[in-house]
Structure 1
Amino acid sequence: MVFAAPNEALARAEHVLESDPSPWCASVAHQVIGIWQRDWGDMKVALHHLRRARDLAARAGSADREADVLAALGVALVHAGRTREGLKELERGVAVSGGHTRARVLYRRAYASWVLGHHRAALDDVRRSIPVLRQADDVIWTARALTLRATVHLALGTVDRADADFTAAEALWDTTGQEHDKADAVESRGLAAFRSGDIPVALRLLDEAGERYAKLGTPTFMLNIRRCEVLMAAGLAPEALAEADAAIGVLDGIGGQSTRKAELLLAAARAARLAGDPHTAIARADMAVRLFAGQRRTWWETHARLVLIEARVAAGRGSGRLVADTAAVAERLASFGSPAAPEASLLAGRIALGLGWTADAERHLTAAARSRHSGPPLARMTGWAAQALWARAAGSGRGVLEACRRGLDVLDDHRMTLGASELRARATAQGAELAALAQQASLDSGGPRRLLVWSERWRATVLSAPPTRPPADPALLSGLTAFREIAARAEAARMEGRPVPTLERDQRRLEREIRSRTLHIRGEAPGGGDRFDPARLLARLGDDDVRLVELAVVDGRVHVLLCGQGRVRRFEAGLLAAAETEAEHVQAGLRRLAHPGAEARLPVVEAAGRRLEELLLGPAAAQLGSGPVVVVPPGRLHRVPWALLPSLRERVFSVSPSASSWLRARETSPPPGGRQVLVRGPGLATGGAEVPELAERYGGSTVLEHEDARVPRVLAELDGSALAHIAAHGTFRADSPLFSSLRMADGPLIVHDFERLDRSPYRIILSCCDTARFASVGADELLGLVTALLPLGTAGVVACSAPVNDAAVVPLMLALHKGLSAGLSLAEGLRDARAALPGDATHQATGWAFSAFGAA
């Protein structure tokens, strides 16, 4: 019962002990309590009960009873970090048992070997146990043994064998009432999905297992460890670190298993390193190494040593001793058959290259490169990264580019299995090194067109295909409705000055549920989409007399790729870090200018604009010609108010995440009918004063305001419209950008809502603050309102990147729509609208804060 209804089994066992049982029955009861405490409670209490069960079994004179308890006690001692003592008890259990009982003891010894990382020994024991368990028609223990064998196969990288065993085990579990075991089987299938590269399915299954465990009231730290592993692979390292640290706190609080604490520390160390916190990674990994060593878990200790070395290298430490240490770790991992061996060889080769040890680097990189043709996507990418590094060391630019191309193709295929735009964006971080190597090789070759191709190869890839929409998911739709209601109630309470801790807690819970369901969505099509063709871009630019300015960052410096007149020219500008700092200063200045009385700041902001131009465009600013300009900045420059740059201030210009997305937007046709939708949300300082005037301008437009401006109605009208103007409070969520929102009558309209549109408006104007703010994630990706719209059929967006004065927005918007009514594009209309504003500082700053995105 303890793995069918754990808490009921615990209560029954305690009741047995209250009734003066025989030694045999008392032994069973103490064993049940010991197993419960071992897996979900205090290890000291568990060991006390299991030793008592062992002594009572001896008094009962039952060899099978004693062997069964010895096996449970042995596993507990291993989990407590007392490995030698635990293995000794398991050996005694094997020695005193026979037949069916001995098969169960062998299963437990195999489990202990798996915990210790002795995978070959685990396979030997579990293979010996399965035929006996099957012959005895012991369904539950056969299913457990098959699940364990599958898990060991996964640790050794043999996914196909694991799948076969998981399938067989699941068929057996369906015939039993072992609810905890069933939850464990779901968890194991999640691990198998992850090992085969299917992150959305892995997340879904692990979440399902967590729900099952929660119903049983049995926390499982193995689930936390596996979730951390999947979250890291999905690019969500900070979340993995938070989950691992929280689980360690819970485990310490109950006096739980020492083995699981060490594994959680290892997960936390990996997550901290990936999250860019090497010092936390060093501290966690060092503790993990010490615990694993004390537990005599060499397999685990070696993996922890690899993470410790990686963190030390990330912290800026590199030496010949580290090369030797990393090589030794790689050799030991290879002897274990660990899939992490290529990663260690790549690290050894990278350190050796940094020291100029080319012979050692070649040896280690060659070993790592062997993984490029087989295994899961990230292992193959490791192999291609090693191949690219060695090609660069050997002076083969062509070899670098070929290896980078092959590696990024692997990542493209993997990325497109992800349905959620957030996961697609974050996954790109795993290709950042390959992209950087390719750009450097392109720059070294001296060809600006080649640098453009590689800049595009890894720019805004999340926009290359729309996210997979789940319109038929009732749980997601009801979650969005509940979230909106709670958020609206919380906002109303805040405005009344009432505390809202319960509502905020409910809102965070619903956010987690919505995000979880979106992360479960699988991508619909493999492949990375159409390849960028510079000739096609140049032809389109020539037809429209447009210059496109793509800013590529190589080794920290901005390189301006000026495209137009049938050619690509390269200019060197300033340092990216300096430009980012200047952009933050400009943002602060614009915030000040949004309030009357800050006129003295205007010259300061204008001077900052001139410095920004020098850093970002350099000599290219004088070569832009007289026609329209498209600016394609890297993700880290998304806060730049481009209209403030002197060379763009009086020019028609637009901003695009990539040249490819500009081409796509330029070739997007407007929908038939020319329907206009005007939306006015609640609580605006001006009341959305431009909307009534625009309604008169567009006679047949749909106007949604007051109670009509509710999210379901707004979405229905926006879908497939030609022009949408939304005057509503914008809120940017840096912590969770896809919950950035526009306030409607019934609550927030969030990015997840926009992603459910069949086709977003052809043109959309967002007239309030913070609507063009983004979170920069992955390699060079942006998440926010604008980037949610562009892949869904929107050809052009006008949005604002800074706080603005609400009253000054009204004349800007009216002037913009006047231009649109005369047949101008968004960029042309915005240029003329800025020129029509009064010359005071507040109106000037308002005009600079808005940009046109896309090509409509």
Structure 2
Amino acid sequence: MVFAAPGDALARAERVLETDPPPLHASVAHQVIGIWQRDFGDMRIALGHLRRARDLAAHAESAEREADVLATLGVALVHAGRTRQGLTAFERGVARGTGHTRARVLYRRAYVWWVLGHHREALEDVRRAIAVLRQADDVIWTARALTLRATVHLALGAVERADADFAAAERLWETTGQEHDKADAVESRGLAAFRSGDIPAALRLFDEAEERYAKLGTPTFMLSIRRCEVLMAAGLAPEALAEADAAIAVLDRIGGQSTRKAELLLAAARAARSAGDPHTAIARAALAVRLFAGQRRTWWETHARLVVLEARVATGRSSGRLVADAAAVADRLSAFGSPAAPEASLLAGRIALDLGWTADAERHLTVAARSRSVGPPLARMTGWAAQALRARAAGSTRGVLEACRRGLDVLDDHRTTLGASELRARATAQGAELAALAQQASLAGGGPRRLLEWSERWRATVLSAPPTRPPADPVLLSALTAFREIAARAEEARTEGRPVPALEREQRRREREIRSRTHHMRGDSPGDGRRFDAARLLERLGEGRLVELAVLDGRVHVLLCGQGRVRRFEGGSLAEAVAEAEHVQAGLRRLAHPGAEARLPLVEAAGRRLEELLLGGAVAHLGEGPVVVVPPGALHRVPWALLPSLRDRVLSVSPSAGSWLRARETEPPPGGRHVLVRGPGLATGGAEVPEVADRYGAATVLSHDDARVPRVLRELDGAALAHIAAHGTFRADSPLFSSLRMADGPLIVHDFERLDRSPYRIILSSCDTARLASVGADELLGLVTALLPLGTAGVVAASAPVNDAAVVPLMLALHKGLDTGLSLAEALRDARAAVPDDAVHQATGWAFTAFGAA
């Protein structure tokens, strides 16, 4: 009962003890309380009850009862870090029990062997247990044993065997009322889905398991450990670190299992390493090493040592001792049969290469490269990274590029199984090293066109195909509506000066629910099957130029495309350019308010410095036609119209050359509908909207209560032109919750992704609507990049705060140009020239950018 209804079992056991029961019954009651405390509470209390249960069983002269309690006590002692005492208890339990009872003891010892990382011993004990349990027709314990055997198979990388055992166990669980065990079965299926490469299914099953555990009121430490692994594979390392640290805090507070704490510390260390925080990774992993060593868990200790070594290398350390330590860890992991062994060999080879030890590097990298053909996607990525490093050490540019191509193809296949655009974007971080190796090889041994092709290979890949549309999920739709209502109430309370902590907590809960539901989506759009074609780009450019900025080793390389060829020019330091762009942003914020005219010369001077750093010698070869700029993610906030050579040009910006091509070839929808939206709270009230409406005649105008999210989305779907005058809010912490304020609350990126087709052209006339978050290898998340893959060919938006009053004449001039047949970029250029020649209006014009190609 303690695994069917834990709370009820605990209460019943306590009532039994109140009745002064005989020793045999008291032994059972103390064992139940001990199990509850062991798994859900305080280990110290658990051990006290289990020792009392053991003594009472001996007093009752029941060898079978004593054997059963000894097995439970053995598990508790191991989880408390007292491994030797725990194994001794099992030896006595196996000796005291017979038949069916002994099989149950063997099952629990198999579980302990798994906890300790002794997988071969675990498989032997569970094999012996299953044979007897099946013969005794013990459905519950047979299902438990099959689940355990499947989990051990997964630890050894035998996914197909694990699937078969999980399926058999689940069929048995359906015939029982063991709710906690059923929740554990769902969790185990999530782990199996992850091992087979299905991250959305793993996240969905883990969420389902968590809901089941919550109904039982039981903690979920093992689930947290497993979910951390999946979150890291999905590129959500900061979330994984937060979950692990939160679980550790709960475990410490209740005095829970020492073994689980060590595993959570290892999960936190891995997450910190993936999140680019090596010092936190070293601290967490070093503590995990000490705990595992004290618990005699060599398998786990070795995995923690690998994280310590990886984090030390990430801090810039490199030595012969590190090579030897990494090689020793690789040997131990290989002896254990761990799928992590190639990672350790790759680490040893990488350090050896840095030291110039080519023979040692070749030996270690050869071992690591064997994983490129088998296993889950990230394991094969490790193998291809090792192969690429081998080829680079051998001086083979062709070999480097082939290994990088194959490795990125593996990651492409993996990435397109993800339906959520956020997960697709973040997952590209796994390919950053291969993309960089390929670009470096192209720079050293190929021409500018090859460098362009490799720059495009792993840039803005999320925009290569429409995102998976969220399903007609009533839970998701309800969560979006509730989120909007809560956010609107919180905004109203802030305006009135009332406290909002409770509303903010509820808003964050709804955000987590929405993200969780979207992460469950499987990818259904593997792309259009076409690789980037430089020849097609050059053909479509005509008299124009496309400037793609590639960053290698911290330096900007300018790839100028046009006149049928690609040329390369040297730029400056990326770090200097980023710092200068931040200075410009600060200047534009000041210039959005009257009285800051003295800042104008400083901002213009910064624009000149940016031009030197970002365009270099390419400035002299830009020609007279339109210019498309393709910056890296780190430079997405540069106001490109501020650069002197671009100020009076037809200028547009695109996340990649490939996405510009797709936008260029996007056909406008039939019908030519125009939709104009005014959100609440604007200083000017969206004063441009009525005048623009008069220009277009039959335009749909939504304002006041009509500008509610459901109605706005219906009208935007498939429109030819949309103009939205609404407060924009950028969320750096969660870019897909960046929003436009409507009458009933925020219109967020997740809402736009539900459109069948977003407007062909869209103008966002308020602050911060073009701000984006750089994630993954070189991906951008935000309002603009959500629209481009959904059928929008061009967007005009602002990347900085703007003066509401100065926006009005700029927008009117922009629409005047569009009405005469100009493109967005052409109309924006002319609009900048048409507004008053003062600091506020100039800064407002520079803050707006045309994205895409419409």
TM-score range, shorter chain: over 0.9
**How far did residue 525 of structure 1 move?**
3.9
**How far did residue 528 of structure 1 move?**
7.6
The letter of the residue matching 2:430 is Q
The one of 614, 636, 639 aligned to 2:637? 639
How far apart, in 1, do the equivalents of 2:337 and 2:776 lie? 30
**1:516 matches 2:516:** yes
**Equivalent residues in 2 for 1:755-774, closer than 5 Å:** 755-774=753-772
**Equivalent residues in 2 for 1:375-524, closer than 5 Å:** 375-524=375-524
**Which residue of structure 2 lines up, in the alignment, with residue 627 of structure 1?**
625
**Which residue of structure 2 lines up, in the alignment, with residue 85 of structure 1?**
85
How far apart, in 2, do the equivalents of 1:352 and 1:416 lie? 34
How far apart, in 2, do the equivalents of 1:842 and 1:478 lie? 43
**Which residue of structure 1 lines up, in the alignment, with residue 333 of structure 2?**
333
Contact 2:467 2:525 in 1 (8 A): no
Contact 2:465 2:526 in 1 (8 A): no
The letter of the residue matching 1:111 is Y
**Which residue of structure 2 lines up, in the alignment, with residue 253 of structure 1?**
253
How far apart, in 1, do the equivalents of 2:32 and 2:220 lie? 17
The letter of the residue matching 1:456 is E
**How far did residue 527 of structure 1 move?**
6.3
**Which residue of structure 2 lines up, in the alignment, with residue 658 of structure 1?**
656
**Which residue of structure 2 lines up, in the alignment, with residue 283 of structure 1?**
283
**How far did residue 373 of structure 1 move?**
0.4
**1:605 matches 2:598:** no
How far apart, in 2, do the equivalents of 1:280 and 1:552 lie? 31
How far apart, in 2, do the equivalents of 1:125 and 1:832 lie? 79
Contact 1:650 1:831 in 2 (8 A): yes
Contact 1:416 1:528 in 2 (8 A): no
Contact 1:116 1:298 in 2 (8 A): yes
Contact 1:813 1:833 in 2 (8 A): yes
SS in 2 for 1:443: helix
How far apart, in 1, do the equivalents of 2:23 and 2:471 lie? 61
**Which residue of structure 2 lines up, in the alignment, with residue 586 of structure 1?**
584
**Which residue of structure 2 lines up, in the alignment, with residue 304 of structure 1?**
304
SS in 1 for 2:549: strand
SS in 2 for 1:626: coil
How far apart, in 1, do the equivalents of 2:15 and 2:526 lie? 58
The letter of the residue matching 1:108 is R
**Equivalent residues in 2 for 1:545-564, closer than 5 Å:** 545-564=543-562
**Equivalent residues in 2 for 1:58-137, closer than 5 Å:** 58-137=58-137
**Which residue of structure 2 lines up, in the alignment, with residue 155 of structure 1?**
155
**1:56 matches 2:56:** yes
**Which residue of structure 2 lines up, in the alignment, with residue 813 of structure 1?**
811
The letter of the residue matching 2:194 is F
Measured against aligned partners, the alpha-carbon deviations of 1:344-364 in whole angstroms (never above 9, x if no partner) come to 000000000000000100000
**Which residue of structure 1 lines up, in the alignment, with residue 534 of structure 2?**
534
Query: If the length of structure 2 is used for normalisation, what is the TM-score?
Result: 1.00
How far apart, in 1, do the equivalents of 2:125 and 2:527 lie? 43
Measured against aligned partners, the alpha-carbon deviations of 1:637-661 in whole angstroms (never above 9, x if no partner) come to 0010000000100000100011110
How far apart, in 2, do the equivalents of 1:493 and 1:548 lie? 48
Contact 2:66 2:93 in 1 (8 A): yes
Contact 1:609 1:644 in 2 (8 A): yes
Q: Which structure 2 residue ranges, 5 or more long, are not aligned?
A: none
**Which residue of structure 2 lines up, in the alignment, with residue 687 of structure 1?**
685
How far apart, in 2, do the equivalents of 1:135 and 1:557 lie? 69
**1:853 matches 2:818:** no
**1:825 matches 2:823:** yes
**1:362 matches 2:362:** yes
How far apart, in 2, do the equivalents of 1:486 and 1:769 lie? 23
How far apart, in 1, do the equivalents of 2:30 and 2:354 lie? 59
Measured against aligned partners, the alpha-carbon deviations of 1:52-100 in whole angstroms (never above 9, x if no partner) come to 0000000111111000000000000000000000000011100111110
How far apart, in 1, do the equivalents of 2:314 and 2:511 lie? 33
**Which residue of structure 1 lines up, in the alignment, with residue 737 of structure 2?**
739
Contact 1:50 1:73 in 2 (8 A): yes
The letter of the residue matching 1:453 is E
How far apart, in 1, do the equivalents of 2:527 and 2:272 lie? 31
**Which residue of structure 2 lines up, in the alignment, with residue 572 of structure 1?**
570
The letter of the residue matching 1:815 is A
**Equivalent residues in 2 for 1:100-249, closer than 5 Å:** 100-249=100-249
SS in 2 for 1:548: strand
Measured against aligned partners, the alpha-carbon deviations of 1:397-450 in whole angstroms (never above 9, x if no partner) come to 000000000000000000000000000000000000000000000000140000
**How far did residue 529 of structure 1 move?**
3.6
The letter of the residue matching 1:692 is P
**Which residue of structure 1 lines up, in the alignment, with residue 669 of structure 2?**
671
Contact 1:676 1:721 in 2 (8 A): yes
SS in 2 for 1:569: strand
Contact 1:633 1:657 in 2 (8 A): yes
How far apart, in 2, do the equivalents of 1:471 and 1:643 lie? 40
The letter of the residue matching 2:667 is S
Measured against aligned partners, the alpha-carbon deviations of 1:629-681 in whole angstroms (never above 9, x if no partner) come to 00000111001000000010000010001111011000000000100000000
**How far did residue 546 of structure 1 move?**
1.2
How far apart, in 1, do the equivalents of 2:723 and 2:83 lie? 67
Contact 1:613 1:646 in 2 (8 A): yes
The letter of the residue matching 1:666 is R
The letter of the residue matching 2:714 is A
How far apart, in 1, do the equivalents of 2:667 and 2:234 lie? 35
The letter of the residue matching 1:237 is A
How far apart, in 2, do the equivalents of 1:797 and 1:594 lie? 22
**How far did residue 467 of structure 1 move?**
1.4
**How far did residue 526 of structure 1 move?**
4.2
How far apart, in 1, do the equivalents of 2:645 and 2:340 lie? 51
**1:37 matches 2:37:** yes
SS in 1 for 2:645: coil
**Which residue of structure 2 lines up, in the alignment, with residue 352 of structure 1?**
352
SS in 2 for 1:640: coil
The letter of the residue matching 1:787 is T
The letter of the residue matching 1:363 is R
The letter of the residue matching 1:813 is M
How far apart, in 2, do the equivalents of 1:153 and 1:512 lie? 33
**How far did residue 471 of structure 1 move?**
3.9
How far apart, in 2, do the equivalents of 1:202 and 1:294 lie? 32
How far apart, in 2, do the equivalents of 1:492 and 1:441 lie? 56
How far apart, in 1, do the equivalents of 2:112 and 2:526 lie? 40
**Which residue of structure 2 lines up, in the alignment, with residue 785 of structure 1?**
783
Contact 2:634 2:774 in 1 (8 A): yes
The letter of the residue matching 2:434 is L
**1:701 matches 2:702:** no
SS in 2 for 1:470: coil
Q: How large is the RMSD of aligned CA atoms in angstroms?
A: 0.6
How far apart, in 2, do the equivalents of 1:51 and 1:735 lie? 49
Measured against aligned partners, the alpha-carbon deviations of 1:586-642 in whole angstroms (never above 9, x if no partner) come to 000000000100000000000000000000000101110000000000111001000
Structure 1 residues 662, 527: closer, same or farther in 2, change over 3 A?
closer
How far apart, in 2, do the equivalents of 1:372 and 1:150 lie? 25
Contact 2:725 2:766 in 1 (8 A): yes
Contact 1:213 1:219 in 2 (8 A): yes
Structure 1 residues 797, 14: closer, same or farther in 2, change over 3 A?
same
SS in 2 for 1:647: helix
Measured against aligned partners, the alpha-carbon deviations of 1:777-824 in whole angstroms (never above 9, x if no partner) come to 000000000000000000000000000100000000000000000000
Query: If the length of structure 1 is used for normalisation, what is the TM-score?
Result: 0.99
